[in-house]
Each structure stands twice: as structure tokens, then as C-alpha cells.
Structure 1
């Protein structure tokens, strides 16, 4: 069977669909699953913090195992995340690094050969790449899957999982998930099966929804302790203040410290060993990441992310910003305003980009001075924020 190479094949798939046939990916997985092995699986669902929680979890599990004396006892770990900033390979992380082009191509050849051209062509970008990750990770011991928009109907929910981790849930993607926090939470949390770990939540309604769904499906629900409580009780494996010290040394804001605590609790539930000190070497690119001494970049894009990040921002920060058209950008700007000196709008390349005039109107409504981004200055403090597209556009400008 003649087939395109992976990148050309993927580039022909549209990124967005107004309607998706949710049965299609289940049909494809039913065909695929007898051809591959499924590792122990952790499913990450929620609105914010999925990427960092999943990466911390996967990294700690992998790094600890690299010090086992016998290679046969070491864990092979895969982490599937989305979207990417600069290159697709960022979405599929395997044993400490982004997957290679060669491994991606081999997995594509195998997957396409199993599914056939008609079904492979019919699958959406996200559906196909999720199944591709399953093929890449088939020889792993642990697979960490980050859901896309939802949970129940997400492509990552086609396989069984040993644990679901529910990160903070907020109002986002209402057109797909529901208008109220209860509807959004239910759509995501209905994906749980045997065990679920609920991260500390902003909305108490999320906890109520999680408890009800867990009871309905017979799942064991663990409500994660906040980091300050775990320190007070000394329930960390290691010195109870060690995580805070590591996080402070890395310049992590509170939300990343909280995400690390949740990741470690997930590993404890599955009895997977870890060493907290491995966090010292972990780089979370795009998560309040210090690109230079005066520039931080963060892929957050919604009010929940803005509330988390404003606590960590320096006063007088210059915000380099843009937004996708389905985001609450005026609310985001209102949340960030107390720490802002001004906003510099950066143009982004996306069919979902907000019309620039609408961003300008929102900035005038919120009463924040603004201009268009041209270059950074050494004597200013910057935060680049708004979406993966904003970070991508900024990095290309910097190059």
C-alpha cells in the first residue's frame, strides 16, 4: 500500500472541526488494540495544568527508574500532550525526550497499515495522532495521556486506564463542553473508570460532580491534599518542606508547585517510586518559563490560568498578548491588569485568531495602554501569554 510520509499526511488534516463523529475513533481503536500492547495508563483530564502535571509525573517515574541497577527493572515511560509549540514531536515524549522523526514515521507506517487508507484519512488530526501515540508507547511500562478538549468524548478516552487525574476545571470551550461549570466538569469527569485523583479545585461544584460520578461508576475517588497541608502533615516521601524549597529555587509559581504535588500523589496511588530531587533538573518549557532574565513565557489562555499566574507576576510587567476567538480575553485582561504596565499585541497565525480590532476594543474597555509588539527591551519585564500560538509567534520573532 502506497502511503504518504507522516508529516505530509498530517498536514492535509484540518486542525478544527465544527462537528466530530465520536464513534469513529472507537471503531479505529477496536481495530488497532489487538495489534499493540497497552501499558499501565494514567489519563489526565481537566482545564488547566494538564501538561505540567503529566510531564512532572512522567519525568519523575522515568528518572527514578534510570538509577535501578538492572536495566530490566527500569521503567519505559511515554507522555502524550498537546498542542505543540514549534514541532509536532513535542506531543509525544518518550523516556526523557521528544520522539524522533524516525520513530514517528515507523509508527505512522504501522498504524496506517493496520487501519487502512479510508479510516486513516477519515480520522481527525487529534484522533489519528492519539492512536499514533498508542503505537509509539506500546512497549512502555507507563503511558500518561493528556486529554484534549474534554474527557468523556475525547479521543484519549478510548482505552482503559488505571488512574484518572483531574486537574483544575474552569470555564472554557463552552461550545463543546457546556455552559456551566457543572456541565463542563461532568463532561470531563465521566471519563473516569477505576481510580481517580482530584486536584485542588477553584470551584466547589467540581468536587460535588466528581463525588457523584465516582459513586455512579463505582470508582475510588481520592481528593488531593493542597501542598501546604501535605507539608504540615509531613506526608511527602522525603522532607515535608523539600518540594517548596525546590520550587522556590526554580522560581516556580504556586500553581506549578501544586501540580507537582498532585503528580507525586498520583505516583503514590499506583505505588510507582519517585525521587522529588529529580525535579531540580526538570524544565517545563512554556509554563511560566524563564526564557531570559526578563522574559517569561506561559501557554495559559483562560481566566483560570490568568488567576493562577497573576499571583506570580511582577508589578509593572509588559504583557505580550493575543487570543483565540473563543476565549474570554477581556476577562483575562481584567484579571492581569493590576500587575501590568502595558500590553503589546503580537500577531498570530491561526484561523481561530481574534480580530485585532476586538483585542484593541477589549484593552480600551479595560483601560490598559497598548501598542503592537516589535521587540523587547532589556530594561523591561515581560510575560508572553495567551496561547500556544502566541508563544510560537514570539519565539519566531526572537529567532
Structure 2
């Protein structure tokens, strides 16, 4: 876009320059990428900055929006991208983790990066990388996304933080706007064991003069972000203050911002929390984007109705109602509980069958305890991940004496058991981990799989 100021270091950009011919198959390329998991999580910007320098800093060739938050950042990112796309712009979207296919992480115009591009670009990154520098899986993937967006000549990219913010590999951007959706306890081993510590980490993505949009959060947490914003002369816009939501129905709302007032909005993503996410998305578009990339009310309505974000309150079957949701922390569990509680009350005699699999480092007992008051049948399972809690560990976390859980380590077997015991009016919910949800969705989409 001509309205985006070109930086000196991006003047040499040649979008027509050929990419390397891949020398490995897609499967072999993924094997290489996933082997980088052995280097674990490395918080710091030295390695990602080095490889991006060697690639000519592709992330500086297009404007970006940076999105962080414990919950809701993926949905909000998808909404922002969908609205921008409906406005006629070429949009890149980088999110994590993926559910079924690695390529989901990197999208342009809603389309996953191609297998050919994954192979070619990763080969080129490997050739340019410093052999003395070790890149983690997420660092390599982040470089791949920024490099792909450059080759695809996007007008703007929406980038979701992987974890935290300050030392996350995505924090090499000079964004035109920042959205922080909310703060809750998660990844405490890396980010800290209090909301204040986690907020300090996420505040690290605030940068010079870029508008900062803050979702609902306690006042003492807001102050942490406002302090950082003042340091960088960045204007702050807070939900409930500079912008707000007025719920006008179970699924409709009005957005009220500094300049925009847009009534009768809807999103096709289920749950009241998605109306809140949409409000945050609209706030960052109004305050950080609209001056450079004009956005019409028509595009907003279209974008919200067309957005897709799989694995979050996703209905995959009816009669019985089968829902998959990637909630994995206490805040996410509470949102899911509210939705399920309403579903149970909507149908007399309707039972809830809960299928749960989680990572070992999560708050197993606290997560399960939220659902125990409304669960009729509990099936415990185990995603195929080294970090996954065993069904025995999950069973120990169940503290309702009259509830005897069914233990089935195989996730597909667990889902099939739930469907076997369900009546047509019942609700089955698969939750506890995005990895579990991805496994189940993958099986459901295989040709010949029963639905």
C-alpha cells in the first residue's frame, strides 16, 4: 500500500525474485521442522533477529498488527484478518498452534501456505541461517511466516503472539497497532505465577506510538499496560472506557468506539465471549488501521459473519450435539462452562458427556472442578503428546465422589464411547487441549470416518 511509509531497509525488496527449488518432500520438511522441538522453548530475540537479518528483514516490508492475550487472541486475530480481507486488502495471518495441519499457521487471504512454499522457503531459510545459531521450532516457523508474507506481497499482516510477548519470537515487529485481549494464569513456568508478572511479559509488545487496545481486565493489570504505553507514547484504548459493547440479543451487539457506532452486529463464532473478541477486534481496526486502510461497515458485517476459527466451540455433529473446544486453562474453562450450562438448561433431560484430555503442566484439578457440577458422564483420555497427562493422572484430579470416570487413553476411542452412550438430545463436549481437539477433528475429517 502506498500509504504505508517505506523504510530504507526495505527498498531493495524484490517480490519477483525466485524462491529455491525444494530439495525435500513436504513430509521430510515437516520431519525436520518438528525435530526442532528438541530445543524446547527459548525466550529471547537474538536468534530470530539474526535469521530475519539474513533474510533482509521481510517483516518490515508490510504493516503489521500484533495480538497478545491469554485467551481470545486467536479468535480476535482471525476476526481482524477476515474484516480486512472483506475490505479488499491482501491479508496475511500468523497464528499458533495448528489443529490438523502445520500449514494452518500461515495464511494469506484465508488460504493455508502451500506445501510447495513450505518446502522451498524452509530450504532457503536453512541455506541462509547461521550454522552457529540454533533456531527453535517456533523461531523457524515465525521466520517462515514473515518470509512467506513478503513473497505474497500482503498489504498487511495480523500476527498472533506465541507465548507471553516480551521475549516471544514475534516481538521483532514494528506494528501499527497492538491488541491485548486479556490476562489469565497460563504458562506460569515461563511467564510468572501471578497476573501481574504475566501482564509485564505481555506489555513487552507495546512499541513506539502504536495504538494499544486493551480488553476487559482488572484495573491493577490495566495500569501495568498504561505505564508501558506512556513510556512509548502509545495511546491506550480500554474496553468499557474508550470503546464498549452493548449486547442487544443473545448473538447480536452494538460496537461503540471513539468514532464508530455500529449496531446490529453478529459473528458466526459461538459464545458470548466471541462478541467480546469481536469488540476488541473492531477497536484495533478503528484506532490503528482505519486511517491507512479504510474499512466500511459493510466489510465489518461481512467479515464477522464469514470468519472461521476451528476448534473453539465448534459444532461438528448434531443429535447428539458434539462440540469440540480447545479450552485448556481456568479462564477458558469458565467460558466453556457458561456455554455448556446454557445448553443443558435449553433441553429438559439433556445430559452432558465430557471428554477431557490435557497437558500435564496445566491445572488439572482446577480445570475439571469447574465442570463437575454439570457433568453426567466423564471420559478421560490422552492426546498423543509427550507432555500429555495420563488418564490415571487425570483421574486423580477428579474430586467428585459420586462420579466414576471412564478411562480411555485413545482419544478416538473416547469420542466413540461418548457417542455410543449418548441419547440424541445429549451434549458431548471434547475439551482440555487444542492438541486433543486437533486429533479428534483430524479423525472426523478422514474419508469414511463415522460422524
Specify the structure having the higher radius of gyration (Cα): 2
Cα distance in 1 between the residues matched to 2:189 and 2:108: 33
- Alignment partner, residue 208 of structure 1: 223
1:395 to 435, 438, 441: 441
- Alignment partner, residue 411 of structure 2: none
Q: How far does residue 203 in structure 1 lie from its aligned partner after superposition? A: 3.2
Whether 1:59 aligns to 2:82 is yes
Whether 1:383 aligns to 2:395 is no
Q: 1:352-391 CA deviation, whole Å, 9 max, x = no partner?
A: 1113222101113576442132511452211111111111
Q: How far does residue 22 in structure 1 lie from its aligned partner after superposition? A: 4.2
- Alignment partner, residue 126 of structure 1: 138
Q: How far does residue 291 in structure 1 lie from its aligned partner after superposition? A: 1.1
Deviates more, 1:275-284 or 1:137-146: 275-284
> What are the within-5 Å matches in structure 2 for residues 131-150 of structure 1?
131-138=143-150, 139-150=153-164
Between Structure 1 and Structure 2, which shows a larger proportion of helix residues?
1
Whether 1:346 aligns to 2:370 is no
Whether 1:14 aligns to 2:14 is no
Deviates more, 1:311-320 or 1:14-23: 14-23
Q: Secondary structure of 1:296's partner? A: strand
- Alignment partner, residue 71 of structure 1: none
User: Is the contact made by 2:82 and 2:306 (CA closer than 8 Å) also made in structure 1?
Assistant: no
Q: 1:124-161 CA deviation, whole Å, 9 max, x = no partner?
A: 00000001000111111111111111100000001211
CA RMSD of aligned residues (A): 2.5
User: Is the contact made by 1:318 and 1:341 (CA closer than 8 Å) also made in structure 2?
Assistant: yes
User: Is the contact made by 1:318 and 1:340 (CA closer than 8 Å) also made in structure 2?
Assistant: yes
- Alignment partner, residue 324 of structure 2: 297
Q: Secondary structure of 1:170's partner? A: coil
Q: Secondary structure of 2:81's partner? A: helix
- Alignment partner, residue 184 of structure 1: 198
Distance 1:8 1:221, change over 3 A: same
Gaps of 5+ in 2: 1-19, 248-252, 345-350, 408-413
Q: Secondary structure of 2:48's partner? A: helix
Q: 1:151-190 CA deviation, whole Å, 9 max, x = no partner?
A: 0000000121111110111011111001110000011112
Distance 1:170 1:135, change over 3 A: same
- Alignment partner, residue 306 of structure 1: 333
Normalized against structure 1, the TM-score is what?
Answer: 0.88
Gaps of 5+ in 1: 66-74
Q: 1:86-130 CA deviation, whole Å, 9 max, x = no partner?
A: 1101100111221211222232233233325554xx100000000
Normalized against structure 2, the TM-score is what?
Answer: 0.78
